[in-house]
Structure 1
Protein backbone atom coordinates (compact mmCIF):
# COMPACT_ATOMS: atom_id res chain seq x y z
CA UNK A 1 0.00 0.00 0.00
CA UNK A 2 1.10 3.55 -0.73
CA UNK A 3 2.45 5.20 2.42
CA UNK A 4 0.92 8.55 3.29
CA UNK A 5 2.62 9.14 6.65
CA UNK A 6 6.04 8.34 8.12
CA UNK A 7 6.69 7.69 11.82
CA UNK A 8 10.16 7.62 13.33
CA UNK A 9 10.52 6.17 16.85
CA UNK A 10 13.58 6.85 19.02
CA UNK A 11 14.08 5.42 22.49
CA UNK A 12 15.58 7.04 25.55
CA UNK A 13 17.19 5.62 28.67
CA UNK A 14 16.68 2.11 29.98
CA UNK A 15 17.96 -1.17 28.64
CA UNK A 16 16.61 -1.40 25.09
CA UNK A 17 16.66 -4.03 22.35
CA UNK A 18 16.46 -3.48 18.57
CA UNK A 19 12.76 -4.40 18.69
CA UNK A 20 12.00 -1.79 21.36
CA UNK A 21 9.35 -0.09 19.20
CA UNK A 22 7.36 -3.21 18.32
CA UNK A 23 4.88 -2.77 21.17
CA UNK A 24 4.00 0.85 20.48
CA UNK A 25 3.75 0.22 16.73
CA UNK A 26 1.39 -2.71 17.29
CA UNK A 27 -0.75 -0.80 19.79
CA UNK A 28 -1.03 2.37 17.71
CA UNK A 29 -1.78 0.34 14.58
CA UNK A 30 -4.59 -1.46 16.41
CA UNK A 31 -6.12 1.87 17.44
CA UNK A 32 -5.93 3.12 13.85
CA UNK A 33 -7.63 -0.01 12.56
CA UNK A 34 -10.35 0.30 15.19
CA UNK A 35 -11.07 3.78 13.87
CA UNK A 36 -11.41 2.48 10.32
CA UNK A 37 -8.02 3.70 9.09
CA UNK A 38 -5.64 1.26 7.40
CA UNK A 39 -2.46 1.15 9.55
CA UNK A 40 -0.49 0.10 6.48
CA UNK A 41 -0.59 3.74 5.40
CA UNK A 42 2.06 4.48 8.03
CA UNK A 43 5.73 3.74 7.38
CA UNK A 44 7.35 3.03 10.75
CA UNK A 45 11.08 3.32 11.38
CA UNK A 46 12.76 2.75 14.77
CA UNK A 47 16.06 4.36 15.78
CA UNK A 48 18.08 2.07 18.05
CA UNK A 49 21.22 3.48 19.69
CA UNK A 50 21.46 1.84 23.13
CA UNK A 51 24.27 -0.48 22.05
CA UNK A 52 26.60 2.51 21.59
CA UNK A 53 26.77 3.34 25.30
CA UNK A 54 25.59 0.15 26.98
CA UNK A 55 28.85 -1.90 26.95
CA UNK A 56 30.74 0.55 29.16
CA UNK A 57 27.76 0.95 31.48
CA UNK A 58 27.24 -2.81 31.80
CA UNK A 59 30.93 -3.38 32.49
CA UNK A 60 30.86 -0.93 35.37
CA UNK A 61 27.61 -2.30 36.79
CA UNK A 62 28.96 -5.84 36.76
CA UNK A 63 32.13 -4.74 38.53
CA UNK A 64 30.28 -2.58 41.05
CA UNK A 65 27.76 -5.27 41.98
CA UNK A 66 30.56 -7.79 42.38
CA UNK A 67 32.58 -5.45 44.58
CA UNK A 68 29.85 -4.11 46.85
CA UNK A 69 26.54 -5.21 48.36
CA UNK A 70 24.28 -2.59 46.75
CA UNK A 71 20.55 -2.27 47.26
CA UNK A 72 17.87 -1.09 44.81
CA UNK A 73 19.66 -2.54 41.83
CA UNK A 74 16.85 -1.93 39.33
CA UNK A 75 16.65 1.71 40.35
CA UNK A 76 20.44 2.02 40.31
CA UNK A 77 20.53 0.61 36.78
CA UNK A 78 17.91 3.12 35.67
CA UNK A 79 19.78 6.03 37.28
CA UNK A 80 23.10 4.92 35.81
CA UNK A 81 21.50 4.64 32.39
CA UNK A 82 19.99 8.13 32.67
CA UNK A 83 23.14 9.86 33.89
CA UNK A 84 25.50 7.71 31.85
CA UNK A 85 23.64 8.32 28.59
CA UNK A 86 23.55 12.07 29.17
CA UNK A 87 27.24 12.28 30.11
CA UNK A 88 28.44 9.94 27.39
CA UNK A 89 26.45 11.68 24.68
CA UNK A 90 28.11 15.09 25.09
CA UNK A 91 31.19 14.74 27.29
CA UNK A 92 34.56 15.23 25.62
CA UNK A 93 37.14 12.48 26.07
CA UNK A 94 39.94 13.37 28.50
CA UNK A 95 42.34 13.96 25.62
CA UNK A 96 39.79 15.83 23.53
CA UNK A 97 39.77 19.49 22.69
CA UNK A 98 37.75 21.88 24.78
CA UNK A 99 35.31 24.49 23.63
CA UNK A 100 31.97 22.73 23.30
CA UNK A 101 32.74 20.51 20.30
CA UNK A 102 30.47 17.51 19.91
CA UNK A 103 31.92 14.20 20.97
CA UNK A 104 32.44 11.15 18.85
CA UNK A 105 29.51 9.52 20.66
CA UNK A 106 27.28 12.46 19.74
CA UNK A 107 28.11 11.88 16.08
CA UNK A 108 27.67 8.11 16.35
CA UNK A 109 24.20 8.49 17.85
CA UNK A 110 23.24 11.07 15.23
CA UNK A 111 24.56 8.76 12.52
CA UNK A 112 21.96 6.21 13.63
CA UNK A 113 19.25 8.84 13.16
CA UNK A 114 20.60 9.77 9.76
CA UNK A 115 20.72 6.11 8.69
CA UNK A 116 17.15 5.58 9.89
CA UNK A 117 15.93 8.60 7.96
CA UNK A 118 17.74 7.39 4.85
CA UNK A 119 16.18 3.93 5.14
CA UNK A 120 12.75 5.39 5.77
CA UNK A 121 12.93 7.73 2.79
CA UNK A 122 14.69 5.57 0.24
CA UNK A 123 13.36 2.11 1.05
CA UNK A 124 9.92 2.50 2.57
CA UNK A 125 8.85 5.70 0.81
CA UNK A 126 10.73 5.06 -2.45
CA UNK A 127 12.08 8.60 -2.42
CA UNK A 128 8.64 10.19 -2.08
CA UNK A 129 8.31 12.66 0.84
CA UNK A 130 5.30 12.47 3.14
CA UNK A 131 4.54 14.14 6.49
CA UNK A 132 6.85 12.89 9.23
CA UNK A 133 5.95 12.30 12.88
CA UNK A 134 8.63 11.48 15.46
CA UNK A 135 7.91 9.63 18.70
CA UNK A 136 10.74 10.34 21.12
CA UNK A 137 10.96 8.86 24.61
CA UNK A 138 12.94 10.29 27.51
CA UNK A 139 16.50 11.27 26.54
CA UNK A 140 15.55 10.48 22.96
CA UNK A 141 13.67 13.78 22.91
CA UNK A 142 16.90 15.64 23.67
CA UNK A 143 18.76 13.69 20.99
CA UNK A 144 16.02 14.36 18.46
CA UNK A 145 15.97 18.06 19.32
CA UNK A 146 19.73 18.31 18.79
CA UNK A 147 19.50 16.42 15.52
CA UNK A 148 16.77 18.69 14.17
CA UNK A 149 18.64 21.78 15.39
CA UNK A 150 21.77 20.66 13.54
CA UNK A 151 19.71 19.93 10.43
CA UNK A 152 18.21 23.41 10.55
CA UNK A 153 21.43 25.31 11.28
CA UNK A 154 24.04 23.12 9.57
CA UNK A 155 22.07 21.30 6.86
CA UNK A 156 23.80 18.61 4.85
CA UNK A 157 22.93 19.57 1.30
CA UNK A 158 23.73 16.06 0.11
CA UNK A 159 20.57 14.84 1.84
CA UNK A 160 17.04 15.17 0.54
CA UNK A 161 14.67 17.74 1.99
CA UNK A 162 12.85 14.92 3.82
CA UNK A 163 16.09 13.61 5.33
CA UNK A 164 16.93 17.14 6.50
CA UNK A 165 13.73 17.01 8.61
CA UNK A 166 11.91 19.61 6.52
CA UNK A 167 8.79 17.41 6.43
CA UNK A 168 8.59 17.15 10.23
CA UNK A 169 4.89 17.57 10.89
CA UNK A 170 4.55 16.09 14.35
CA UNK A 171 6.57 15.59 17.51
CA UNK A 172 5.35 13.30 20.27
CA UNK A 173 7.69 13.46 23.25
CA UNK A 174 6.96 11.34 26.32
CA UNK A 175 8.84 11.14 29.59
CA UNK A 176 10.89 13.97 28.11
CA UNK A 177 13.75 15.58 30.04
CA UNK A 178 14.82 18.36 27.67
CA UNK A 179 14.48 20.97 30.48
CA UNK A 180 17.34 19.34 32.40
CA UNK A 181 19.74 20.16 29.57
CA UNK A 182 18.89 23.85 29.32
CA UNK A 183 20.23 25.18 32.60
CA UNK A 184 23.79 25.77 31.39
CA UNK A 185 22.65 27.60 28.26
CA UNK A 186 22.83 31.38 28.26
CA UNK A 187 20.04 31.65 25.71
CA UNK A 188 17.67 28.70 25.39
CA UNK A 189 16.17 28.33 21.94
CA UNK A 190 13.98 25.47 20.72
CA UNK A 191 14.04 24.07 17.23
CA UNK A 192 11.98 25.92 14.66
CA UNK A 193 8.68 24.08 14.53
CA UNK A 194 6.94 23.63 12.24
CA UNK A 195 9.98 23.73 9.96
CA UNK A 196 9.94 26.72 7.59
CA UNK A 197 10.10 24.42 4.56
CA UNK A 198 7.25 22.15 5.61
CA UNK A 199 4.68 22.41 2.80
CA UNK A 200 2.02 24.95 3.71
CA UNK A 201 -0.83 22.43 3.45
CA UNK A 202 0.57 20.56 6.48
CA UNK A 203 1.57 23.46 8.72
CA UNK A 204 -1.89 24.01 10.18
CA UNK A 205 -1.99 20.38 11.33
CA UNK A 206 1.56 20.29 12.72
CA UNK A 207 1.71 19.65 16.47
CA UNK A 208 4.30 19.09 19.19
CA UNK A 209 2.60 17.00 21.88
CA UNK A 210 4.46 16.35 25.12
CA UNK A 211 3.20 13.70 27.56
CA UNK A 212 4.37 13.22 31.14
CA UNK A 213 3.24 11.06 34.04
CA UNK A 214 3.18 12.99 37.34
CA UNK A 215 5.01 10.08 39.03
CA UNK A 216 7.70 10.00 36.34
CA UNK A 217 10.55 12.01 37.86
CA UNK A 218 12.37 12.04 34.51
CA UNK A 219 9.41 13.36 32.52
CA UNK A 220 8.75 17.10 32.52
CA UNK A 221 6.49 19.70 30.92
CA UNK A 222 8.23 21.74 28.22
CA UNK A 223 6.20 24.92 27.98
CA UNK A 224 7.57 26.33 31.28
CA UNK A 225 11.13 26.38 29.87
CA UNK A 226 10.55 29.83 28.38
CA UNK A 227 8.26 31.79 26.07
CA UNK A 228 9.85 30.32 22.95
CA UNK A 229 9.10 26.75 24.05
CA UNK A 230 5.63 27.80 25.10
CA UNK A 231 5.04 28.88 21.52
CA UNK A 232 6.40 25.83 19.67
CA UNK A 233 5.07 23.13 22.02
CA UNK A 234 1.39 22.66 21.29
CA UNK A 235 0.47 20.74 24.44
CA UNK A 236 1.93 19.54 27.73
CA UNK A 237 -0.36 16.66 28.63
CA UNK A 238 -0.37 15.04 32.05
CA UNK A 239 -1.15 11.35 31.68
CA UNK A 240 -1.14 8.33 33.99
CA UNK A 241 0.69 5.33 32.56
CA UNK A 242 1.56 1.93 33.95
CA UNK A 243 -0.32 -0.56 36.07
CA UNK A 244 -1.17 -0.67 39.77
CA UNK A 245 2.43 -1.57 40.69
CA UNK A 246 4.48 0.71 38.44
CA UNK A 247 1.99 3.49 37.71
CA UNK A 248 2.62 5.42 40.91
CA UNK A 249 6.41 4.99 41.03
CA UNK A 250 9.41 6.32 39.06
CA UNK A 251 9.18 3.07 37.06
CA UNK A 252 6.34 4.76 35.19
CA UNK A 253 9.11 6.34 33.10
CA UNK A 254 9.34 3.08 31.16
CA UNK A 255 5.60 2.38 31.04
CA UNK A 256 4.46 4.70 28.24
CA UNK A 257 5.33 2.38 25.36
CA UNK A 258 2.33 0.05 25.49
CA UNK A 259 -0.02 1.91 27.80
CA UNK A 260 -3.40 2.13 26.07
CA UNK A 261 -4.05 5.65 27.30
CA UNK A 262 -0.85 6.87 25.67
CA UNK A 263 -0.99 4.83 22.47
CA UNK A 264 -4.59 5.89 21.87
CA UNK A 265 -3.57 9.55 22.03
CA UNK A 266 -0.76 8.90 19.57
CA UNK A 267 -3.18 7.19 17.20
CA UNK A 268 -5.66 10.05 17.52
CA UNK A 269 -2.95 12.48 16.44
CA UNK A 270 -1.86 10.33 13.51
CA UNK A 271 -5.47 10.20 12.34
CA UNK A 272 -5.41 13.98 11.90
CA UNK A 273 -2.61 13.54 9.35
CA UNK A 274 -3.93 10.52 7.45
Structure 2
Protein backbone atom coordinates (compact mmCIF):
# COMPACT_ATOMS: atom_id res chain seq x y z
CA UNK A 1 0.00 0.00 0.00
CA UNK A 2 1.37 3.38 -0.95
CA UNK A 3 0.90 6.18 1.54
CA UNK A 4 -2.70 7.39 1.63
CA UNK A 5 -3.28 11.13 2.13
CA UNK A 6 -6.65 12.33 3.36
CA UNK A 7 -6.64 16.07 3.96
CA UNK A 8 -4.14 16.85 6.73
CA UNK A 9 -3.72 13.16 7.55
CA UNK A 10 -1.33 10.50 6.20
CA UNK A 11 -1.64 6.74 6.60
CA UNK A 12 1.13 4.18 6.05
CA UNK A 13 1.14 0.39 6.36
CA UNK A 14 3.68 -1.50 8.49
CA UNK A 15 3.67 -5.12 7.29
CA UNK A 16 4.70 -7.99 9.56
CA UNK A 17 3.80 -11.27 7.82
CA UNK A 18 1.37 -13.20 5.63
CA UNK A 19 -0.38 -16.44 6.44
CA UNK A 20 -3.22 -18.59 5.18
CA UNK A 21 -5.87 -20.97 6.43
CA UNK A 22 -8.39 -23.27 4.73
CA UNK A 23 -11.55 -21.34 3.98
CA UNK A 24 -13.88 -24.20 5.00
CA UNK A 25 -12.28 -24.11 8.45
CA UNK A 26 -12.14 -20.34 8.87
CA UNK A 27 -15.52 -19.48 7.35
CA UNK A 28 -17.79 -22.51 7.01
CA UNK A 29 -20.72 -22.00 4.68
CA UNK A 30 -19.04 -20.23 1.75
CA UNK A 31 -20.52 -21.53 -1.51
CA UNK A 32 -19.37 -21.65 -5.12
CA UNK A 33 -21.96 -18.94 -5.85
CA UNK A 34 -20.38 -16.69 -3.21
CA UNK A 35 -16.95 -17.13 -4.77
CA UNK A 36 -18.33 -16.43 -8.23
CA UNK A 37 -19.85 -13.21 -6.93
CA UNK A 38 -16.49 -12.07 -5.50
CA UNK A 39 -14.41 -13.14 -8.51
CA UNK A 40 -15.02 -10.04 -10.71
CA UNK A 41 -13.47 -7.71 -8.10
CA UNK A 42 -11.09 -9.93 -6.09
CA UNK A 43 -9.21 -13.10 -6.98
CA UNK A 44 -5.78 -14.62 -6.27
CA UNK A 45 -3.88 -17.86 -6.66
CA UNK A 46 -4.98 -19.52 -3.40
CA UNK A 47 -8.67 -19.21 -4.28
CA UNK A 48 -10.69 -21.73 -6.25
CA UNK A 49 -14.14 -22.01 -7.77
CA UNK A 50 -14.56 -24.96 -5.40
CA UNK A 51 -14.90 -23.76 -1.75
CA UNK A 52 -13.35 -26.99 -0.48
CA UNK A 53 -10.11 -26.09 -2.28
CA UNK A 54 -9.98 -22.45 -1.15
CA UNK A 55 -7.55 -20.89 1.27
CA UNK A 56 -7.86 -17.49 2.89
CA UNK A 57 -4.55 -15.66 2.61
CA UNK A 58 -4.28 -12.90 5.19
CA UNK A 59 -1.73 -10.27 6.15
CA UNK A 60 -0.80 -9.18 9.65
CA UNK A 61 -0.05 -5.47 9.63
CA UNK A 62 -0.18 -2.21 11.53
CA UNK A 63 -1.02 1.26 10.29
CA UNK A 64 0.69 4.53 11.19
CA UNK A 65 -1.52 7.57 11.19
CA UNK A 66 0.13 11.01 11.10
CA UNK A 67 -1.75 14.20 11.83
CA UNK A 68 -1.26 17.38 13.86
CA UNK A 69 2.33 16.42 14.61
CA UNK A 70 1.28 13.07 16.13
CA UNK A 71 2.45 9.61 15.07
CA UNK A 72 -0.26 7.12 15.99
CA UNK A 73 0.16 3.35 15.65
CA UNK A 74 -3.01 1.34 15.00
CA UNK A 75 -2.61 -2.28 16.15
CA UNK A 76 0.71 -3.93 16.98
CA UNK A 77 0.79 -7.31 15.18
CA UNK A 78 2.31 -10.44 16.76
CA UNK A 79 5.67 -9.19 17.96
CA UNK A 80 8.93 -11.10 18.28
CA UNK A 81 10.01 -13.75 20.80
CA UNK A 82 6.46 -14.34 22.07
CA UNK A 83 5.50 -17.87 23.15
CA UNK A 84 2.22 -18.76 21.43
CA UNK A 85 0.24 -21.97 21.07
CA UNK A 86 -0.24 -21.41 17.34
CA UNK A 87 2.93 -22.47 15.41
CA UNK A 88 2.64 -19.68 12.83
CA UNK A 89 2.86 -17.05 15.60
CA UNK A 90 5.29 -18.76 17.98
CA UNK A 91 8.70 -17.21 18.73
CA UNK A 92 8.71 -15.05 15.63
CA UNK A 93 11.68 -13.13 14.27
CA UNK A 94 10.21 -10.59 11.85
CA UNK A 95 11.65 -7.28 10.57
CA UNK A 96 8.61 -5.25 11.71
CA UNK A 97 10.77 -2.64 13.47
CA UNK A 98 12.85 -2.26 10.32
CA UNK A 99 9.68 -1.72 8.32
CA UNK A 100 8.67 1.00 10.80
CA UNK A 101 12.11 2.58 10.43
CA UNK A 102 11.68 2.61 6.65
CA UNK A 103 8.87 5.10 7.25
CA UNK A 104 11.32 7.34 9.10
CA UNK A 105 10.05 6.35 12.54
CA UNK A 106 11.77 4.87 15.57
CA UNK A 107 9.82 3.45 18.55
CA UNK A 108 10.46 6.66 20.52
CA UNK A 109 8.69 8.67 17.79
CA UNK A 110 5.29 7.04 18.40
CA UNK A 111 2.97 9.23 20.48
CA UNK A 112 -0.05 6.93 20.76
CA UNK A 113 -0.72 3.21 20.28
CA UNK A 114 -4.35 2.29 19.64
CA UNK A 115 -5.33 -1.38 19.75
CA UNK A 116 -8.66 -2.21 18.13
CA UNK A 117 -8.79 -5.21 20.48
CA UNK A 118 -6.44 -7.34 22.56
CA UNK A 119 -6.06 -10.52 20.52
CA UNK A 120 -2.48 -11.77 20.24
CA UNK A 121 -1.94 -10.59 16.64
CA UNK A 122 -2.90 -7.00 17.53
CA UNK A 123 -0.83 -6.38 20.67
CA UNK A 124 2.49 -8.18 20.20
CA UNK A 125 4.75 -5.22 19.44
CA UNK A 126 3.36 -3.33 22.43
CA UNK A 127 6.33 -4.84 24.25
CA UNK A 128 9.79 -6.18 23.45
CA UNK A 129 12.15 -8.46 25.34
CA UNK A 130 14.93 -6.64 27.19
CA UNK A 131 17.23 -8.47 29.63
CA UNK A 132 14.64 -11.19 30.08
CA UNK A 133 11.77 -8.76 30.79
CA UNK A 134 8.91 -7.48 28.67
CA UNK A 135 9.14 -3.70 28.43
CA UNK A 136 7.05 -1.20 26.41
CA UNK A 137 8.37 -0.90 22.86
CA UNK A 138 7.13 2.68 22.55
CA UNK A 139 8.34 4.45 25.71
CA UNK A 140 6.91 7.88 24.82
CA UNK A 141 3.44 6.67 23.81
CA UNK A 142 0.11 6.44 25.56
CA UNK A 143 -1.45 3.06 24.86
CA UNK A 144 -5.24 3.22 24.35
CA UNK A 145 -7.16 0.06 25.28
CA UNK A 146 -10.92 -0.51 25.41
CA UNK A 147 -11.83 -0.90 29.07
CA UNK A 148 -14.46 -3.51 28.18
CA UNK A 149 -11.87 -5.54 26.26
CA UNK A 150 -9.28 -5.19 29.01
CA UNK A 151 -11.65 -6.37 31.72
CA UNK A 152 -12.57 -9.47 29.70
CA UNK A 153 -8.95 -10.58 29.23
CA UNK A 154 -8.21 -9.86 32.87
CA UNK A 155 -10.34 -12.85 33.81
CA UNK A 156 -8.50 -16.02 34.81
CA UNK A 157 -10.62 -18.21 32.53
CA UNK A 158 -9.90 -16.18 29.35
CA UNK A 159 -8.81 -18.19 26.29
CA UNK A 160 -5.19 -19.31 26.68
CA UNK A 161 -3.47 -17.84 23.61
CA UNK A 162 -4.93 -14.37 24.03
CA UNK A 163 -4.58 -14.49 27.81
CA UNK A 164 -0.87 -15.16 27.26
CA UNK A 165 -0.65 -12.13 24.99
CA UNK A 166 -2.45 -10.09 27.63
CA UNK A 167 0.20 -11.06 30.15
CA UNK A 168 3.27 -10.35 28.02
CA UNK A 169 2.01 -7.55 25.75
CA UNK A 170 -0.60 -5.61 27.76
CA UNK A 171 0.08 -5.94 31.49
CA UNK A 172 3.69 -4.67 31.21
CA UNK A 173 2.36 -1.50 29.58
CA UNK A 174 -0.16 -1.05 32.38
CA UNK A 175 2.55 -1.65 35.00
CA UNK A 176 4.70 1.03 33.32
CA UNK A 177 1.86 3.55 33.71
CA UNK A 178 1.49 4.07 29.95
CA UNK A 179 -2.03 2.65 29.44
CA UNK A 180 -5.31 4.54 29.11
CA UNK A 181 -8.37 2.32 29.64
CA UNK A 182 -11.20 4.05 27.81
CA UNK A 183 -14.85 3.57 26.97
CA UNK A 184 -15.77 2.30 23.52
CA UNK A 185 -17.06 5.74 22.44
CA UNK A 186 -13.86 7.49 23.51
CA UNK A 187 -12.57 10.53 21.57
CA UNK A 188 -8.79 10.18 21.44
CA UNK A 189 -7.93 13.43 19.64
CA UNK A 190 -9.93 16.62 19.01
CA UNK A 191 -13.57 15.71 18.29
CA UNK A 192 -15.86 13.37 16.37
CA UNK A 193 -15.74 14.27 12.69
CA UNK A 194 -12.47 16.17 13.07
CA UNK A 195 -9.99 14.02 14.94
CA UNK A 196 -9.81 10.43 16.13
CA UNK A 197 -12.63 8.60 17.85
CA UNK A 198 -13.81 5.08 18.66
CA UNK A 199 -16.96 3.12 17.83
CA UNK A 200 -18.06 -0.04 19.62
CA UNK A 201 -18.26 -2.97 17.19
CA UNK A 202 -18.00 -5.75 19.78
CA UNK A 203 -18.67 -9.28 18.60
CA UNK A 204 -15.45 -10.67 17.22
CA UNK A 205 -14.06 -9.81 20.64
CA UNK A 206 -15.87 -8.47 23.72
CA UNK A 207 -14.62 -4.90 23.33
CA UNK A 208 -13.61 -4.56 19.67
CA UNK A 209 -13.61 -0.96 18.47
CA UNK A 210 -13.43 0.65 15.07
CA UNK A 211 -11.02 3.59 15.00
CA UNK A 212 -12.27 6.55 13.00
CA UNK A 213 -10.02 9.37 11.81
CA UNK A 214 -10.67 12.54 9.85
CA UNK A 215 -8.75 15.81 9.65
CA UNK A 216 -9.58 18.29 6.95
CA UNK A 217 -10.35 15.69 4.31
CA UNK A 218 -11.64 12.18 3.77
CA UNK A 219 -12.86 9.86 6.51
CA UNK A 220 -10.76 6.79 7.41
CA UNK A 221 -11.91 3.72 9.34
CA UNK A 222 -9.72 1.04 10.88
CA UNK A 223 -12.16 -1.82 11.66
CA UNK A 224 -9.73 -4.30 13.24
CA UNK A 225 -11.15 -7.80 12.95
CA UNK A 226 -14.71 -6.86 12.09
CA UNK A 227 -13.85 -8.67 8.84
CA UNK A 228 -10.70 -10.50 7.77
CA UNK A 229 -11.08 -11.33 4.07
CA UNK A 230 -12.95 -9.90 1.06
CA UNK A 231 -15.31 -12.92 0.93
CA UNK A 232 -16.92 -11.58 4.11
CA UNK A 233 -18.28 -8.62 2.14
CA UNK A 234 -20.21 -11.13 0.05
CA UNK A 235 -21.20 -13.16 3.14
CA UNK A 236 -21.24 -10.82 6.15
CA UNK A 237 -23.73 -13.16 7.80
CA UNK A 238 -21.30 -16.06 8.18
CA UNK A 239 -19.53 -16.60 11.49
CA UNK A 240 -15.73 -16.46 11.34
CA UNK A 241 -14.09 -19.25 13.35
CA UNK A 242 -12.42 -16.81 15.78
CA UNK A 243 -15.52 -14.70 16.52
CA UNK A 244 -16.27 -14.68 20.26
CA UNK A 245 -19.97 -13.94 19.70
CA UNK A 246 -20.78 -15.08 16.18
CA UNK A 247 -24.26 -13.60 15.91
CA UNK A 248 -23.20 -10.21 17.23
CA UNK A 249 -20.05 -10.20 15.09
CA UNK A 250 -22.16 -10.81 11.98
CA UNK A 251 -24.58 -8.06 12.99
CA UNK A 252 -21.79 -5.53 13.57
CA UNK A 253 -20.04 -6.52 10.34
CA UNK A 254 -23.12 -5.80 8.25
CA UNK A 255 -23.86 -2.62 10.19
CA UNK A 256 -20.35 -1.19 9.70
CA UNK A 257 -20.21 -2.19 6.04
CA UNK A 258 -23.59 -0.53 5.47
CA UNK A 259 -22.42 2.64 7.21
CA UNK A 260 -19.26 2.83 5.06
CA UNK A 261 -20.78 1.79 1.72
CA UNK A 262 -20.77 4.38 -1.06
CA UNK A 263 -19.75 7.22 1.28
CA UNK A 264 -16.14 7.75 0.12
CA UNK A 265 -14.85 6.45 3.44
CA UNK A 266 -11.44 4.80 3.10
CA UNK A 267 -11.35 1.50 5.02
CA UNK A 268 -8.07 0.03 6.25
CA UNK A 269 -8.77 -3.64 7.11
CA UNK A 270 -6.42 -5.27 9.59
CA UNK A 271 -5.83 -8.42 7.51
CA UNK A 272 -6.49 -7.70 3.82
CA UNK A 273 -3.44 -8.35 1.67
CA UNK A 274 -1.64 -5.52 -0.08
CA UNK A 275 -3.11 -3.44 -1.56
CA UNK A 276 -5.29 -3.38 1.52
CA UNK A 277 -7.07 -0.02 1.72
CA UNK A 278 -10.18 0.81 -0.25
CA UNK A 279 -13.83 1.73 -0.43
CA UNK A 280 -16.87 -0.39 0.41
CA UNK A 281 -19.46 -0.40 -2.34
CA UNK A 282 -23.00 -1.67 -2.24
CA UNK A 283 -23.59 -4.74 -4.43
CA UNK A 284 -27.28 -5.55 -4.27
CA UNK A 285 -28.04 -6.88 -0.83
CA UNK A 286 -24.32 -7.37 0.01
CA UNK A 287 -21.06 -5.51 -0.65
CA UNK A 288 -17.84 -5.45 -2.65
CA UNK A 289 -14.46 -3.84 -1.99
CA UNK A 290 -12.81 -1.40 -4.35
CA UNK A 291 -9.08 -1.39 -3.61
CA UNK A 292 -7.30 1.96 -3.89
CA UNK A 293 -4.53 0.48 -6.05
When normalised by structure 2's length, the TM-score is 0.34
- Larger strand proportion, structure 1 or 2? 2
| Structure with higher helix content | 1
Higher RCO (C-alpha 8 Å, min separation 6):
1
TM-score (norm 1): 0.36
